[in-house]
Amino acid sequence: MSGTIDRVSLPPHHPLVDGRTSGSALVRAYSGDRPERPPVWFMRQAGRSLPEYRESRAGVAMLDACLDPDLAAEITLQPVRRHGVDAAVFFSDIVVPLRLVGVDVEIVPGTGPVIASPVRTVDDVARLRDLGPLDAARVSPVAEGVARTVSRLGTTPLVGFAGAPFTLAAYLVEGGPSRDHLAARRLMHADPAAWAALMDWTAEITGAFVAAQVTAGASAAQLFDSWAGALTLADYTAHCAPASARVLAQAGALGVRTVHFGVGTGELLVAMRDAGADVMGVDYRVPLDEASARLGGRTPLQGNVDPALLAAPWEVLETHVRDVVRRGTAAPAHVVNLGHGVPPDTDPTVLTRLVQLVHSL
């Protein structure tokens, strides 16, 4: 974890600069300080598990909702009001930066993101470059959504959100969701020049996307590498980590703590931390004390309640949550979260009760 954060790059009205969130439990924990009670928030806490979300989204396509500043702010705030979590996470999607620069991408219900023209060659990457940068004008709906959210959050910090360069690249190459990301892994080795150019481009737009959220008021930034678990350690380190390191460094230079999270990435924890993250998110597969040991006991952790247990009897979930919090004491600090996102069919009253339990420990 890096040392003292320099926030001179943030505007004076930023909540970390004016003091609204600088002493919050979340920011303290992300900085390696252990608050009086564990902070807790949930990945995908703003979403389909909430009836108010379904009402807000009625008749509105996912990407359109993400790019409507008022609607994105309202959806971001909903779980904070309902659950009393210690952080909001900005309502967005991994492929939003692609849409913003003009890539033909849609989120198809029941399928996920679908890219109209998959990227498979150097020429395909060059056509992405021809779309131009993710500049302030293009990213303005997101920046405005963040600003409107922060203005209503008070002392609750907002976590900015972005998909990692590899995960974006995997969607672009595969054309949509994939089980094994074979096409992406094939391109990585069959045409290293095309792959390097693609990762350079995805790092550039991801960095701009994160920077816009941080400058507009996010108090931390989380990089989601959803598909990095498909990679070997050698491939991740050589072909993906440098691009993520660029994004994490760009966010850190602005003056916020960064979190790095991947699914099925237990074998990549050290490499992902060494890409420059202040905090490592851990999925439900690796116990937190084991994760802390792998990381040398010096990295704050986030996680890792098993989302499947949200549907278990309360006594089963409570025992599990207490065990997660106990194991989290092996790290310098611990933010309670899920080991992946909130399942859409989760009973929201369970999440509220879970927050109350964590706050009582």
pLDDT value at 108 more than 50: yes
> Does residue 330 have a pLDDT over 90?
yes
Predicted confidence at residue 327, as pLDDT, reads: 98
| C-beta contacts of 324-330 below 8 A and 24+ residues apart | 324/288, 325/38, 325/358, 325/361, 327/287, 327/288, 327/289, 328/38, 328/288, 328/289, 328/301, 330/288, 330/289, 330/292, 330/293, 330/297
pLDDT value for 288: 98
Max Cα-Cα span within the chain? 56
Mean pLDDT value of segment 293-310: 98
Q: 269 pLDDT exceeds 90?
A: yes
Helix (H, G, I), strand (E, B) or coil at 329: coil
Q: CB-based contacts of 118: which residues, under 8 Å, 6+ apart?
A: 124, 172, 173, 174, 175, 183
Q: Are 302 and 277 in contact (CB under 8 A)?
A: no
What pLDDT score does 7 carry? 76
pLDDT at 235 over 80: yes
In the CATH scheme, what is the code of domain 25-360? Answer: 3.20.20.210
Which is more confident, 1 or 121? 121
Handedness of CA 257, 143, 138, 115 (dihedral sign): positive
Q: What does pTM read for this prediction?
A: 0.96
pLDDT at 345 over 90: yes
Q: Which pair of tokens denotes residue 61?
A: 């396509």
Rounded to 5 degrees, φ, ψ at 7 are -105, 20
Is the confidence at residue 2, as pLDDT, over 60? no
Q: Per-residue pLDDT averaged across 88-115, rounded?
A: 95
Residue 1: is its pLDDT beyond 70?
no
- Domain residue ranges of the chain, discontinuous segments joined by +: 25-360
Residues 132/101, Cβ–Cβ less than 8 Å = yes
pLDDT > 70: percent of the chain: 99
26 within 8 A of 39, measured Cβ to Cβ: yes
196 CB contacts (<8 Å, ≥6 apart)? 239
Catalytic residues: 44, 48, 57, 93, 171
Q: Give every CB contact of residue 301 below 8 A, 6+ residues apart in sequence.
A: 279, 280, 281, 282, 288, 291, 292, 295, 328, 331, 333, 334, 335
Q: What pLDDT digit, counting tens, does each position of 40-69 carry?
A: 999 999 999 999 999 999 999 999 999 999
pLDDT band at 260 (very low <50, low <70, confident <90, very high): very high
22 Cβ contact partners less than 8 Å away, ≥ 6 residues apart = 15, 16
pLDDT band at 3; cut points 50, 70, 90: low
State residue 4's pLDDT score: 62
Question: Can you tell me the mean pLDDT for 186-212?
Answer: 98
